[in-house]
Structure 1
Amino acid sequence: MTIYSFVRSLVKAALKTVYRIEVIGMENIPADGGILLCSNHIDNLDPPVVGITAPRPVYFMAKEELFSVPILGKILPHLNAFPVKRGMSDREALRKGLGILKDGKVLGLFPEGTRSKTGKLGKGLAGAGFFALRSDAYVVPCAVIGPYKPFNKLKVVYGKPMDMAPIKAKKLNAEQTTDLIMGEIQKLINQYN
């Protein structure tokens, strides 16, 4: 058993005792091939919640500062997390993310770049569009619908993969593509809230 699987099973057991997690649309996640999994961001627990509910291991970008936290910084790489410098174009993180998608793995992103203070979906950053346009990965929108209150229901909704062919044919830029992805996340929030 890998460190990832071991920690995932521990986290899953812990979170499922605190929250009644309902997963909707798991069948929308392709069994193989690269996947760009884009979710809203309402709480610090979003990455582990998405990580334990997705049927495949998920690789997440995490803010660089977390890797200098004692103990956590040593564990994060074993949990498929890699550092990203926020507030600037981090070429190394972009290369790493594209490599994950090219290798047929799942890259999890929170396009807003930070947690929403209001719980409402914010503006997405161009990074999601960059990965969507520069790879052949499936783009799967995801909505985490809270609030995170102990023993209350928490929904994780996976939408159908977006067809990127018409978006690429229209030659939309990364920001416009991110806006379309955010629109799909908003539809999931509206439908299942």
Structure 2
Amino acid sequence: MTRISSFMAGQGRGSRAFYVVARTLIVVFTRLWTRARVEGRHHIPATGAFVLAPVHRSNMDTPISACVTRRRLRFMGKDSLWKHPASAWLLSSLGGFPVTRGTADREALKRCTLVLEGGEPLVLFPEGERKSGPVVQPLFDGAAYVALRAGVPIVPVGIGGSERVMPKGARFIRPRTVRVIVGPPITAAVPAGGRVPRAMVHDVTAHLHAALQELFDAAQAQLGRPNPSSLDQSPAK
């Protein structure tokens, strides 16, 4: 735990400078390659922590998410990537923090909560792994739980077109147009006592799911590739 905790911040002067340069290069490449246009940036909090919760259709969704704000976004990675000092420094400087694969989910949630309580934004894909198709799949409760636990908002993000840029299984990044729409923050007040009611977690997750589908549909529509009505779709099991 000590080794893992030592990479939670990555706030040294060198790390901060590297992040600024790396983020600039990543965002410039992403914008040029995907012609990404972002709407709704005013919904991103200027200060304080929040959970950025995008739809997940491509490995490009993480660099695309970096286009929505200049603030450093934190993200999880499997701890094996932190074995070597060079890769550990690189990933930590970019905002990553390690989570041990195979451990209880509560350990990962605890580390996410620590990041948020430290005042930093965190990227969580509430669908879990990459999905495919026009329907936002059933969400995990983790994003809602850590946001409620830390008392921070969830900012839903619809990303249209990223699946065509780099679909699951693709080795190369294709030059395709992407549209990103940031929705209003989702907030909820946890009752006094510190415990997060399970019903509240489920309610926030349901709200997030509806918001993501609406934003995803709107982003796809802007591309001229509208999603079929979600009413006509059956979510994959």
* CA distance in 1: counterparts of 2:21 and 2:62, whole angstroms: 16
Unmatched segments (≥5 aa) in structure 2 = 1-15, 166-173, 221-237
Tell me the SS of whatever aligns to 1:61.
strand
- With 40-49 and 170-179 compared, the bigger mean Cα shift is at 170-179
Give aligned-pair identity as a percent: 30
Aligned partners of 2:161 and 2:178 also within 8 Å: yes
What letter is aligned with 2:30?
A: L
Aligned partners of 1:82 and 1:93 also within 8 Å: no
**Which TM-score applies when normalising by structure 1?**
0.85
Aligned partners of 2:55 and 2:127 also within 8 Å: yes
Aligned partners of 2:51 and 2:121 also within 8 Å: yes
| 2:216 maps to 1:189 | yes
Q: CA deviation at 1:119?
A: 5.2
Within the candidate set 18, 25, 33, 1:18 is matched to 33
Match of 1:132 in 2: 147
Within the candidate set 46, 55, 58, 2:70 is matched to 55
* CA distance in 2: counterparts of 1:106 and 1:114, whole angstroms: 20
RMSD (Å) for aligned C-alpha atoms = 2.6
Cα 1:109–1:82 shift into 2, 3 Å: same
Runs of 4+ in 1 over 6 A off after TM superposition: none
Q: How many residues align?
A: 191
Q: More relative contact order in 1 or in 2 (CA 8 Å, sep 6+)?
A: 1
- With 74-83 and 154-163 compared, the bigger mean Cα shift is at 74-83
Residues 117-161 of structure 1 show CA distances to partners (whole Å, capped at 9, x for unaligned) of 335321211211211221211211111111443443201211011
Match of 1:108 in 2: 123
Residues 66-85 of structure 1 show CA distances to partners (whole Å, capped at 9, x for unaligned) of 54699655521221111234
Match of 1:158 in 2: 182
Match of 2:206 in 1: 179
**Which TM-score applies when normalising by structure 2?**
0.70
Unmatched segments (≥5 aa) in structure 1 = none
Match of 2:133 in 1: 118
Residues 143-192 of structure 1 show CA distances to partners (whole Å, capped at 9, x for unaligned) of 11114434432012110111313xx4694253443232122111111233
Match of 2:21 in 1: 6
